[in-house]
Structure 1
Amino acid sequence: MNKLLIFPIFLLACTLAYGQQQVMFTQYMFNQMALNPAYAGIHDGVSASALMREQWVGFEGAPSTQTLSIHSPIGFTPISLGGMIVRDKIGSTTHHGVHMAYAYRIKFANKTKMSFGLQASLSHYHQNFATSAGSDPSLTNASQNMIRPNFGAGLLWHSDRFYLGLGVPQMINQSFDPDNPDSESELIRHYFLSAGYVFPIAPGVMLKPNFLLKAVDGAPIQADINMNVLLRNVLWVGVSYRSLDSFDAIVQFQIGPKLQVGYGFDFWTTTELSQVNSGSHEIMINYIIELPRAKILTPRYF
């Protein structure tokens, strides 16, 4: 197999990997750093989160994603900074990304806040052809690497009980094949519109509906509609429907004022992939370190 055949395979793998980078995490409503840089500093403390997602379990080469994020206000200023590290593997392609976020937050008299966010990112894609070469010995040591910088921006209007945001984490469309301007293998801009609201429905019971819309040029708009219930300020339980994808369940525990642990399970895949996988699993851990500027809000609704 010569390079003329190897390169298109690499382009296809990169395209699939990038699509996975814009995955709608099942527990997105508890950490939106991957969707909107304006989210940085929303907790008024040093907020650190780890997320691990195994998608389409049982399907060979299925996406496996890990993220680590941290964000915080800076002193008593309206400025917040954040960062996120991403590792994502799909098939024989591995992606590592570093994202740095800056947010500026304005407080209004009605106790709401408007945050403006900017993001700079750097992504490295590694394609190991040996893992997908089959019996072709010419690909035993074949691999290829690509590095792509990018920028993002976002807006987030929020209070303690609601949020409304628009995020564009990757603003620049970039081709994986710069020598071919007509190539369809490219990084495509994604738009994320998110909103959520919390209100009481009974003593010790809060209801939180959320929705997330993802728009991509040349693809149908995808919607994630979620309903969570908070019991006794300790236990979150919820269900979601992600159009063109799955039905999901969520459980989150608030362990004291600083620690939150959650599990998401995509239990019913609505595409043809349902025949070859047993669902997707997602674990999220969030810990907040209190700063002198404010008390930690417990429970944390967003």
Structure 2
Amino acid sequence: MMQRKRTIYMTLLLLVAAVIPGKAQQNVQFSQYVFNGLSVNPAYAGYKQDWYMNAIYRHQWAGFPGAPRTGGISVDGLANSRDNKVGLGLQMMVDRLGPQEALSIYGSYSYRIPLDDEDTRRLCFGIGAGVTQYAIDGAALQYVDNDDEAIPTGKASTWIPDARFGIYYYTSRFYAGVSVMDLFALYTDATRYSWKGNNYAAIRKTQHVYFTTGTMLTLSPVLQLKPSLMVKEDFKGPTSLDLNAFLLINEKIWIGGSYRTNVKLWNKDNLIDDLTAVNAASVMVEFYANERLRIGYAYDLNVTRMAGYQGGSHEISLGFLFPSKKYSLTNPRYF
């Protein structure tokens, strides 16, 4: 059984290296990112005005050996500044995929420009900086030659600095944002990802651009609809599109789902013409136990041939708001 698992681990690693163009892998994406915008845009820092902490854990492809497992925690809020113009954030994340591991720590700074006297619209510019420790555990790999020097005898790791940038606009009922994550990925010296002369650059994350937008529509005094979408582009692999819709019931329960697929926005010479779209559907429930605590759960199901080989993906999250006089039920933060 252990030998079989190690064989699958090696297979996963080879698949990652083979299907991701440019010898780099896709960024982690949470289904519940719509409840924590800091994960995709540093300009989101301070949006809720009060300090907010979010913790999340994702187990992807349940029942599949070596499947991705990701956990993270973030906190963001306003600095003690005039006119609430400065937002700060901190995010820590660990991601494991078979023998691979990435541990990252990022700090974010957002400058929030008010656009009206009532403070219902702001344009925010954000920057983030941090480091990621990329690692490969040789003990999790199965190999034929016991003396293969390309396989680390233990865990081989390296620390890589990086940065991110974003713009975020919001009103009480609408938001839109664009961000660039892993800015330095295209310029990182690949020799840092090496072990005794063997290159492991395939484990690094590649540069991504995100576009997000959404709105709130009032259907009745106790029912509201929140449609949103996200486009994720790395300029190498297929463009990813997320379509989301949530119903907010009595300001207490969010019920909704999302559909993720690949779209062809323009021709990419490095992709084959008959590439099969990777589709996934999610159902999500978010419950506000009180005005401070949010509890969320998401279940993802791959709508592909792989669906029969794993038990879907599970994701749980907790959000905790440290409310002050700035927050009230008459001035909620929906995004």
User: What does 1:86-101 correspond to in 2, within 5 Å?
Assistant: 86-101=93-108
Deviation at 1:127, TM superposition (A): 0.5
Q: Which residue of 2 aligns with 1:4?
A: none
Q: Which residue of 1 aligns with 2:245?
A: 227
User: What does 1:263-278 correspond to in 2, within 5 Å?
Assistant: 263-266=297-300, 268-278=301-311
Contact kept? 2:87, 2:111, Cα under 8 Å: yes
Across the aligned residues of Structure 1 and Structure 2, the Cα RMSD in angstroms comes to: 2.7
User: What does 1:252-267 correspond to in 2, within 5 Å?
Assistant: 252-266=286-300
Gaps of 5+ in 1: 1-7
Alignment partner for residue 202 of structure 1, among 220, 226, 238?
A: 220
Measured in 1, the distance between the counterparts of 2:190 and 2:48 equals: 41
Say if 2:167 is the partner of 1:155.
yes
Q: Which residue of 2 aligns with 1:84?
A: 91
Deviation at 1:177, TM superposition (A): 2.8
TM score, norm. by length of structure 1: 0.88
Q: Which residue of 2 aligns with 1:250?
A: 284
Change (3 A) 1:192 1:157: same
Deviation at 1:25, TM superposition (A): 1.1
Q: Report the identity percentage.
A: 27
Q: Which residue of 1 aligns with 2:268?
A: none
SS in 1 for 2:191: coil
Measured in 2, the distance between the counterparts of 1:35 and 1:272 equals: 29
Q: Which moved more, 1:43-52 or 1:70-79?
A: 70-79
Change (3 A) 1:184 1:125: closer
Task: Give 2:233's aligned amino acid.
Answer: A
User: What does 1:63-212 correspond to in 2, within 5 Å?
Assistant: 63-77=68-82, 78-109=85-116, 111-134=120-143, 137-138=146-147, 141-172=153-184, 173-175=186-188, 177-178=190-191, 185=202, 187-212=205-230
Q: Which moved more, 1:213-222 or 1:269-278?
A: 269-278
1:110-133 residue CA offsets vs partner (Å, 9 max, x unmatched): 721111000002000111111113
SS in 1 for 2:25: helix
Deviation at 1:56, TM superposition (A): 0.7
Q: Which residue of 1 aligns with 2:8?
A: none
Greater strand content: 1
1:139-161 residue CA offsets vs partner (Å, 9 max, x unmatched): 58343212111111000000222
Task: Give 2:179's aligned amino acid.
Answer: G
Measured in 1, the distance between the counterparts of 2:42 and 2:131 equals: 15
Q: Which residue of 1 aligns with 2:25?
A: 19
Q: Which residue of 2 aligns with 1:301?
A: 334
1:41-93 residue CA offsets vs partner (Å, 9 max, x unmatched): 00111100100000010111111000100011012431111100001100011
Deviation at 1:195, TM superposition (A): 0.6
Deviation at 1:273, TM superposition (A): 2.1
Deviation at 1:219, TM superposition (A): 1.5
Measured in 2, the distance between the counterparts of 1:299 and 1:262 equals: 18
Contact kept? 1:238, 1:251, Cα under 8 Å: yes
Change (3 A) 1:296 1:126: farther
Change (3 A) 1:179 1:71: closer
TM score, norm. by length of structure 2: 0.79
SS in 2 for 1:75: coil
Measured in 1, the distance between the counterparts of 2:328 and 2:73 equals: 21
Task: Give 2:60's aligned amino acid.
Answer: Q
Residue correspondences, number: 289
SS in 2 for 1:33: helix
1:79-108 residue CA offsets vs partner (Å, 9 max, x unmatched): 111100001100011110001000000111
Measured in 2, the distance between the counterparts of 1:68 and 1:233 equals: 25
SS in 2 for 1:84: strand
